[in-house]
Copies of this chain bind each other. A is one copy, B any other.
Amino acid sequence: MKDHIVISRATIDRLPVYFRCLRHIQEEGAEIISSEDLGRRVGVTPEQIRKDLASFGEFGKKGVGYYVRDLIRNIGEILGLHRNWNIAIAGVGHLGWALANYRNFISLGFNLKALFDVDPMKIGQIVNGVEVFSCEKIPQIVDEYDIHIAIITVPASNAQSIANVLVECGVKGIWNFAPIRLKVPDDVRLVSEDLSVGLSSISYYLSREYKL
Contacts and interface: CB of A to CB of B under 8 A. Distances in A.
Contacts of A83: 203, 206-207, 212
B43 A79 contact: no
A160 B16 CA distance: 24
Copies in the assembly, this chain: 2
Contacts of A9: 43-44
Given A173-B206, A179-B104, A203-B83, A196 B99 contact: no
A28 to B, nearest CB: 8
Given A94-B97, A95-B94, A173 B202 contact: yes
Interface residues of A, number: 69
A199 B83 CA distance: 13
Contacts of A12: 43, 201, 204-205
A13 interface: yes
B200 A15 contact: yes
A29 interface: no
Contacts of A58: none
Nearest to A181: B24
Contacts of A45: 8, 10
Nearest to A8: B45
Interface stretch (A113-121, A135-143, A161-169, A185-193): A185-193
A195 B10 contact: no
A172 interface: yes
A194 B17 CA distance: 8
Contacts of A93: 98
Contacts of A172: 206, 209-210
Given A8-B44, A172-B206, 7 more contacts: A12-B201, A17-B197, A83-B206, A102-B196, A110-B196, A148-B212, A149-B199
Interface of A: 8-10, 12-17, 19-20, 24, 27, 43-45, 48, 78-81, 83, 85, 87, 93-95, 97-99, 101-105, 107-108, 110, 148-149, 151, 172-175, 179, 181, 187, 189, 191, 193-210, 212
